[in-house]
Chain A
Amino acid sequence: MVTNVTSFGRSGLYDWMIQRVTAVVLLAYTLFIVGFLLITPDVDFQQWQALFANTAMRIFTLLLVLSFAAHAWIGLWCVTTDYIPMTGLRFLVQAVTGLMTFVYVAWAIHIIWGV
């Protein structure tokens, strides 16, 4: 069967599991940030910087970025294989998506450790 077209994980099952786990990370991070904004209503630059200067927060944010990248890649890979039947164009769109994902991850790491 079509085992050679694995998108990210080693199999359909791993892709599926990664998609669920990263979704939980995305949700947890969103809840955390919303919670933070709720308990500190008029957040200023100092508070914001102090939050992100914390190593735990940086690790959490890195986790978010990696989860986001994996989640987006698997999702968009699904969308392109559904809706772009022309192999050449599909490859092009996937290549651009992959490249952009990589750039975003590198850029995000730069930002997180630049605070």
Chain B
Amino acid sequence: MLVSVYRYNPEADDAPYMQDIHIDIPGGKDIMVLDLLQLLKDKDPSLGYRRSCREGVCGSDGMNMNGKNGLACITPLSAVVKKDKLVLRPLPGLPVIRDLVIDMAQFYAQYEKIKPFLINSTPAPAIERLQSPEQRAELDGLYECILCACCSTACPSFWWNPDKFIGPSGLLQAYRFLADSRDTAQAERLADLDDPFSVFRCHGIMNCVSVCPKGLNPTKAIGKIRNMLLQRAT
């Protein structure tokens, strides 16, 4: 099959280019894209990409495979290869450090803005703050996010305003803390989100939902934040 990989080494190349490589998959097996990358790296050790857990847990190997963001380690070739061809690019919208490795600083800056930790002004109990099973269930579909950035880098609103729009990943996390019964900073959290960019740049295109490798739904969480803002204002 033919693999076309985005290559860019800022120390050697004037501009990024696509490298076409013909490769035979041993035994014609339906391997994961990450395994394919290893085969490519065996041929050309200069190819750069991130990976760690190789089982969809760490969120390191988000990339754009034949036009769709996803995790290379849990994406089988059969799910993305079309006409025996695969185009691999870094996640779109963020600066490229080298080949498939992107600079996630802007993504993390947005995550930091939403204060991704519990804030509680009441005196700490002797052992731990308890939640009822129902309260705990509120966090399902939120806490599973692995911060792979597949969603935010698929979101046009994030492409145009990565410095002001929190993005689907950050907003999913924002709601994860707004919805937590053990958090007492709801009012402050909402006040921080009530500008024209942080939340309201989401136009509900749902690119985020269609790419999330963990099957999460940032658009729904964003809708809930909007409802909370509405409730607070009216």
Contact = CB atoms under 8 A, between A and B. Distances in A.
Nearest to A11: B194
A106 B233 CA distance: 32
Interface stretch (A2-10, A23-31, A61-69): A2-10
B160 to A, nearest CB: 4
A83 B161 CA distance: 9
A102 interface: no
B60 interface: no
Interface string B196-226: 1111110000000000000000000000001
A6 B160 contact: no
Interface of B: 113, 157, 160-161, 164, 192-201, 226, 229-230, 233
A44 interface: no
30 contacts: A1-B113, A1-B193, A2-B164, A2-B196, A2-B198, A3-B194, A3-B195, A5-B164, A6-B195, A6-B196, A11-B195, A12-B193, A12-B194, A12-B196, A12-B197, A12-B199, A12-B200, A12-B229, A13-B194, A13-B226, A13-B229, A15-B200, A16-B226, A78-B201, A81-B160, A81-B161, A82-B157, A82-B160, A82-B161, A83-B160
B191 to A, nearest CB: 9
Nearest to A13: B229
Interface of chain A, main secondary structure: helix
Contacts of A5: 164, 195-197
Contacts of A1: 113, 192-193, 195, 198
Contacts of A3: 194-195
A17 B233 CA distance: 11
A30 B67 CA distance: 40
B157 A2 contact: no
Give the 6 A-B CB pairs with smallest separation, nearest first: A12-B200, A12-B196, A82-B160, A11-B194, A3-B195, A13-B229
A13 B192 CA distance: 12
A113 B31 CA distance: 72
A24 to B, nearest CB: 16
A5 B194 CA distance: 12
Contact of B233 (A13, A78, A81, A83): A13
Given A15-B200, A82-B161, 19 more contacts: A1-B113, A2-B195, A2-B196, A5-B196, A5-B197, A6-B196, A7-B196, A11-B195, A11-B196, A12-B193, A12-B194, A12-B199, A12-B229, A13-B229, A13-B230, A15-B196, A16-B200, A16-B226, A83-B160
A61 to B, nearest CB: 28
A54 B161 CA distance: 47
A2 B161 CA distance: 12
A15 B230 CA distance: 12
Contacts of A6: 195-196
